Chain A
Amino acid sequence: MLPLIVPLAIITSTAVIGLTGLGCGLLLAMAARFLAVREDERIEALTECLPGINCGACGMAGCGDYARAIIEDDAPVNLCKPGGEETLKAICAYLGIEAQAGEREVALVCCGGHNGLAKHQATYNGIADCIAAERIGGDGKACPFGCMGLGSCARICPVNAIEITEQRLAAVHPALCIGCGACVKACPRNLIGMVPESRKVHILCRSTDRGPVVRKYCEVGCIGCNRCVKAVGKKGITMDGALAVVDYTVPIEDVSVAETCPQSTIVVRDGRKENAS
């Protein structure tokens, strides 16, 4: 008798649990059918056009939210930076409007003063986070404008495109950067800017201190000597107080301007080439 009871018990329990599961499944299926919230199919279609990484660069909560904003709130269609041209074309094709694409922008850390070049006046002991360090007076770097290298930008980057080098300086890999601009907001010293990918001449300094002061704390800081501005004939580089600033709206064709800089603050980088390699 005993051998019979055991299989029976197994069959009963299997059947009970199986049936319960089936019933729940049916209930769920019915709920999905009858309680479904009807969404504008255009929003769904537009969400499909977007990259789906929910980076928030457009200022919305995610791709779905952006798609909703385009349909319902007439949000501009060119806000998706990671998607770039391709996404813009897809959106425009769906909405039946003409696309106007701008150039792809990538992030650039405007500081070249790594640990070997910029002086540290104090040793920082605290939370390894730029924002936290800035609140108690920085990480000990004598330059109050320089990169602290504690990685707030690297942590917020959705695609890990920012690396903190061994010399404690943040560096963006232009090939990986999707241009979402999250790091720009994260940097407490406003060191990161968005620059068109094709531009080659960059000034890696944001110190507005006067020349003699800058010289004291950094070997590659802008001293405001004005030579680069003269070299380009004020086209593409302008002075902001004691700081030379690249005007990215005007392309600089002649990269030899970098050689005029006595501090080597100006660097020549080909973002596109780095992308290709």
Chain B
Amino acid sequence: MTEKDINLAISASPHTHSGASVRGIMLTVIIALAPALLWGFRLFGWPAIVLTATCVAACVAAEALSRRLMKRKLGIGDGSAVVTGLLLAMCLPPALPLFMAVIGAVVAIVVAKQVFGGLGYNPFNPALVGRVFLTISFPFAMIQWTAPDAPPTDDTHAVTAATPLAAWETEWSGQEETAGFFEEYPWVDLFFGNQAGSFGEVSSLLLMLGGLFLLWRRCIHWQVPVFYLGSVTIIALILYGIDPHRYLPPFYHLFSGGLMLGAWFMATDMVTSPVTARGMMIFGCGCGVLTMIIRVWGGYPEGVSFAILLMNAAVPLINRYTRPRVFGTRQS
């Protein structure tokens, strides 16, 4: 072998890699979302499927277009736009008019992500920004929940129903007799996913399975979901202990609304959550406390999206103050 036949590669160490990639992580997230997504499709039928397709297509198109306009490399191959599209669709009411979904997707990708410089630079979770934008812009359309047992073909005027959280806040909270609520919304339905709501958020069980899959694939850190769900449980338990007629039991807080999707898939979004272990714990607790404050005392029946976005804003600060103690700097 002579020197002439070879052209060696040089780079800094290490010369080997774990094989992890951004695309791989996004693919894992998509796989983890799949069970809850498919369950949503089964429950709400074509409207949900069309909504999802619209969101994903709009996100990818918005990403490609904005990157082109900004003369950046086309970055849709990393799959992050697909994930944003899926997450956005999953936290929307299944019967939402499609033009609204498109607006939400464009806001999510262009305003919340590309304007800041693209994946990695966005301070807020894009899908949540999209959802919150829609909640504020179209407050009525965003609470038109389809009843889960409505026939899937009945697409024009689906039977609407209240979500458990909304029903509790408007009708049952503070009543003398609350047994009727628990009859109308049995916990089994909440847990397995037979409730009204954003179509990807209904089945707590499947979302949790997806979350555990992410944990197993090491795509998320355990601190965020554990501390998020933990703080919600503790606060709900305390409130329930104080006045069971005014406040929902912890179980209902955990398994209704967007908490499962939020705790496992949104709050754990890498770009917008802290990088330090202690930071993730603080972040999770903050999300939990804010969620409960908004749910119990706020104007909206559900507060997961606002809570996570507010905590997103605190992430740089959290990172800064939870730096690990560097090896060799022990105070003696």
A120 contacts B7, CB within 8 Å?
Answer: yes
Q: Measured between alpha carbons, how far is A125 from B14 in the docked complex, in Å?
A: 12
Q: Measured between alpha carbons, how far is A126 from B12 in the docked complex, in Å?
A: 7
Q: Measured between alpha carbons, how far is A121 from B10 in the docked complex, in Å?
A: 10
Q: Measured between alpha carbons, how far is A60 from B37 in the docked complex, in Å?
A: 62
Cβ of B9 < 8 Å from any Cβ of A? Answer: yes
A136 contacts B7, CB within 8 Å?
Answer: no
Interface range for B: under 10
B12 contacts A122, CB within 8 Å?
Answer: no
B10 contacts A137, CB within 8 Å?
Answer: yes
Could you count the A-B residue pairs with CB atoms below 8 Å apart for me: how many are there?
Answer: 27
Cβ of B8 < 8 Å from any Cβ of A? Answer: yes
Indicate which residue in A123, A125, A137, A138 contacts B7 across the interface (CB closer than 8 Å): A123
Cβ of A94 < 8 Å from any Cβ of B? Answer: no
B7 contacts A124, CB within 8 Å?
Answer: no
Cβ of A144 < 8 Å from any Cβ of B? Answer: no
Q: Given the complex, which residues of A lie within 8 Å of B16, measured CB to CB?
A: none
Indicate which residue in A122, A126, A136, A138 contacts B8 across the interface (CB closer than 8 Å): A122
Q: Given the complex, which residues of A lie within 8 Å of B11, measured CB to CB?
A: 124-126, 136
By beta carbon, the residue of chain B nearest A140 is B10
Nearest CB on A from B12, distance (A): 5
Nearest CB on B from A146, distance (A): 15
B12 contacts A123, CB within 8 Å?
Answer: no
Q: Measured between alpha carbons, how far is A66 from B281 in the docked complex, in Å?
A: 51
- Beta-carbon contacts under 8 Å, A119-133 to B: 120-126
Q: Measured between alpha carbons, how far is A121 from B8 in the docked complex, in Å?
A: 7
Q: Produce 1/0 per residue, B2-21, CB < 8 A to A.
A: 01000111111000000000
- Beta-carbon contacts under 8 Å, A137-155 to B: 137-138, 140
- Beta-carbon contacts under 8 Å, B282-302 to A: none
Tell me the count of chain A residues lying within 8 A, CB to CB, of chain B: 11
Q: Measured between alpha carbons, how far is A7 from B111 in the docked complex, in Å?
A: 36
By beta carbon, the residue of chain A nearest B13 is A136
Q: Given the complex, which residues of B lie within 8 Å of A120, measured CB to CB?
A: 7
Nearest CB on A from B171, distance (A): 35
Q: Measured between alpha carbons, how far is A221 from B225 in the docked complex, in Å?
A: 63
Most buried by A among B7, B8, B11: B11
A125 contacts B9, CB within 8 Å?
Answer: yes
Q: Measured between alpha carbons, how far is A219 from B20 in the docked complex, in Å?
A: 43
Nearest CB on B from A217, distance (A): 12
By beta carbon, the residue of chain B nearest A132 is B12
Q: Given the complex, which residues of A lie within 8 Å of B3, measured CB to CB?
A: 121
- Beta-carbon contacts under 8 Å, B254-305 to A: none
Q: Measured between alpha carbons, how far is A120 from B9 in the docked complex, in Å?
A: 11
Q: Given the complex, which residues of B lie within 8 Å of A125, measured CB to CB?
A: 9-11
Most buried by A among B7, B8, B12: B12
Q: Given the complex, which residues of B lie within 8 Å of A124, measured CB to CB?
A: 9-11
Q: Measured between alpha carbons, how far is A122 from B10 in the docked complex, in Å?
A: 6
By beta carbon, the residue of chain A nearest B8 is A122
By beta carbon, the residue of chain A nearest B9 is A123
Q: Given the complex, which residues of A lie within 8 Å of B8, measured CB to CB?
A: 121-123
Q: Given the complex, which residues of A lie within 8 Å of B12, measured CB to CB?
A: 126, 136
Q: Measured between alpha carbons, how far is A126 from B11 in the docked complex, in Å?
A: 6
Q: Measured between alpha carbons, how far is A125 from B11 in the docked complex, in Å?
A: 5
Q: Measured between alpha carbons, how far is A140 from B8 in the docked complex, in Å?
A: 9
- Beta-carbon contacts under 8 Å, A171-196 to B: none
Q: Given the complex, which residues of B lie within 8 Å of A138, measured CB to CB?
A: 10
- Beta-carbon contacts under 8 Å, A87-120 to B: 120
Q: Measured between alpha carbons, how far is A31 from B239 in the docked complex, in Å?
A: 54
Q: Measured between alpha carbons, how far is A202 from B104 in the docked complex, in Å?
A: 61
- Beta-carbon contacts under 8 Å, B5-57 to A: 7-12
Q: Measured between alpha carbons, how far is A136 from B7 in the docked complex, in Å?
A: 17
Nearest CB on A from B70, distance (A): 20
Q: Given the complex, which residues of A lie within 8 Å of B7, measured CB to CB?
A: 120-123
Q: Measured between alpha carbons, how far is A31 from B176 in the docked complex, in Å?
A: 64
Q: Measured between alpha carbons, how far is A123 from B3 in the docked complex, in Å?
A: 14
Nearest CB on B from A136, distance (A): 5
By beta carbon, the residue of chain B nearest A138 is B10
Nearest CB on B from A165, distance (A): 21
Q: Given the complex, which residues of A lie within 8 Å of B9, measured CB to CB?
A: 122-125
Q: Measured between alpha carbons, how far is A126 from B13 in the docked complex, in Å?
A: 10
Q: Measured between alpha carbons, how far is A123 from B6 in the docked complex, in Å?
A: 10
Nearest CB on B from A250, distance (A): 41
Q: Given the complex, which residues of B lie within 8 Å of A126, measured CB to CB?
A: 10-12
Q: Produce 1/0 per residue, B195-237, CB < 8 A to A.
A: 0000000000000000000000000000000000000000000
Q: Measured between alpha carbons, how far is A125 from B12 in the docked complex, in Å?
A: 8
Q: Measured between alpha carbons, how far is A154 from B11 in the docked complex, in Å?
A: 22
By beta carbon, the residue of chain B nearest A120 is B7
Nearest CB on B from A102, distance (A): 43
Nearest CB on B from A133, distance (A): 9
Those 8 A-B pairs whose CB atoms lie nearest each other, nearest first: A125-B11, A122-B8, A122-B10, A136-B12, A126-B11, A123-B9, A124-B10, A126-B12
Instruction: List 17 extra interface pairs beyond A123-B9, A124-B11, A126-B11, CB under 8 A.
Output: A120-B7, A121-B3, A121-B7, A122-B7, A122-B8, A122-B9, A122-B10, A123-B7, A124-B9, A124-B10, A125-B9, A125-B10, A126-B12, A136-B10, A136-B11, A138-B10, A140-B10
Give chain B's interface residues, CB within 8 Å of chain A: 3, 7-12
Report 5 cross-chain contacts, Cβ distance below 8 Å, ordered by A residue. Answer: A122-B8, A122-B9, A122-B10, A124-B9, A140-B10
